[in-house]
Chain A
Amino acid sequence: MMEKMIFGRYIPVESVIHRMDPRAKLIIVFLFIFVVFLANNPMTYGLLGVFTFIALLLSNIKISFIIKGLRFLFWLILFTFLLHIFFTKEGELLVSWGFIKIYEGGLIQGIYISLRFFFLILFTSLLTLTTTPIEITDGLESLLNPLKKLKFPVHELALMLSIALRFIPTLMDETEKIMKAQQARGVDFSEGSLTTRAKAIIPLLIPLFINAFKRADELATAMEARGYRGGEGRTKYRLLKWDLRDTLALLILIALSVTLILLRN
């Protein structure tokens, strides 16, 4: 569980996609959610598939690893597929076997919708696989910057996010330690009725809260002693750099969208 917390799903390998600016990745993933819906015939779905798989290959992450992470979704996709096959009654009747009737429309719909879902998940998971949570936070802060004009506390939100990210491993450690201490005294966190479980969590929560507030106090004092005074005029340790490859990636996505619009029915 520890590993999972600290790095999320990030896989530290060298690749063009890892080196991309997190802002570019965020924009592209966000736009892709809509681009997926442009496909509606074999040509467009094929193109979308090629695009997704090229992106996967460029990320240098083993395909088998990604597929392993999708095992749960595989069933969901299969279920959706079967649902469409059996319950969409459009087009020609292809198979009639007892009460099972498969129509052409249903088969095509099933395939399309499963593919769309599959591409969407593969592509969006690339973001968390190739970008560390802290990079995503920096990217979000920079992208949301215009919202400052509307009094939205962008800097503060990013600050809270990075503080949380910094302390998740510490708190995980602490949680584990307290849980083990409780278990040594005979508390069982994984068994028992719901009320027993609810009760078992309280001796865990109290020290966590008290320590968190103590730490918050210390950290806030330390920040103020070092002259922290909000986002205005602050210099940064981690700088984001928008490169040619980021512009290029964005242009490729735009080109893909235009082609999809031209090719769709």
Chain B
Amino acid sequence: MKKLGVKAFVAIGMLSAIAYVLMLLNFPLPMFPTWLKIDFSDVPALVGAIIMGPVAGILIELIKNILDVISTGSETGVPVGHIANFTTGLLFVLPTYYAYKKVQSKKGVITGLTVATIITTLGMSVLNYFVFFPMYSIFMGFEVPKLMVVIAVAPFNLIKCIMISIVFYVLYSKMQDRIAKMRQAF
């Protein structure tokens, strides 16, 4: 893997800012509780990962969440939600990147997004059950009926991943040539 240069750092900063702005344009899904919100802030991380490599994707997810914590703070005092959001991002971006690396075409993107959707939905269910809900219980003294919530949250994650996949796929097919050119530049 190439080392990231100044240009890449600046571009990562810009993409993180886009991710943060997109995170603020969130909306709840019909039929789901309002605290489960959909946003497209993972799209800039996907773009960054595909153009500049996996480290860029990880950094964009990380910076997006740090930006939110340092500007508005965490609703629960301890940023458990932000850590969960970061993990979701990684579970989604990294599989997509590695599948794309193998097959650099629309086919690779579709395979990557499909695998990433499955990994994220299953992975987040497991992590919610064993890590994030227990963390909430510790800091908020709030016993979550874990299994029930996991069953409710999984379809939400699935829908969210599918929507992000659709947006990223359309975006990729429109920007394919440009992305290929930019990959050379970094």
Please report A residues at the B interface, Cβ cutoff 8 Å.
1, 4-5, 7-9, 33, 72-73, 76, 79-80, 83-84, 109, 112-114, 116-117, 120-121, 123-125, 127-129, 133, 136-137, 140, 156-157, 159-165, 167-168, 171-172, 175, 189-190, 194-195, 197-199, 201-202, 205-206, 208-210, 212-213, 215-217, 219-220, 223-224, 228
One of B9, B10, B21, B143 near A171 (C-beta < 8 A): B21
On chain A, the residues within 8 Å of B141 by CB distance are: 80, 84, 109, 112-114, 116-117
One of B4, B20, B29, B175 near A209 (C-beta < 8 A): B175
Please determine whether B21 and A198 come into contact, CB atoms closer than 8 angstroms. no
Rounded to whole angstroms, the CA-CA distance of A192 and B14 in the bound complex is 30
One of A9, A83, A189, A190 near B143 (C-beta < 8 A): A83
Number of contact residues on B: which range applies? 35 or more
8 Å CB contacts to A: which residues of B1-25? 4-7, 9-18, 20-21, 24-25
A145 to chain B: closest CB distance in Å? 16
Knowing A1-B24, A136-B70, the reply to whether A212 touches B59 (Cβ < 8 A) is no
User: Which are the 8 A-B pairs with shortest beta-carbon distances?
Assistant: A8-B71, A163-B13, A113-B141, A128-B73, A216-B11, A220-B7, A120-B77, A212-B14
Please report B residues at the A interface, Cβ cutoff 8 Å.
4-7, 9-18, 20-21, 24-25, 27, 29, 40, 43-44, 47, 59, 62-63, 66-67, 70-78, 139-143, 159, 163, 166-167, 170-171, 174-175, 178, 182
By secondary structure, the A interface counts as helix
Please determine whether A72 and B7 come into contact, CB atoms closer than 8 angstroms. no
A–B Cβ pairs within 8 angstroms, 13 of them = A117-B139, A136-B70, A156-B4, A161-B13, A162-B13, A163-B9, A168-B17, A171-B18, A171-B21, A209-B15, A209-B44, A220-B5, A224-B6
One of A4, A76, A213, A219 near B24 (C-beta < 8 A): A4
On chain B, the residues within 8 Å of A175 by CB distance are: 21, 25
B11 to chain A: closest CB distance in Å? 4
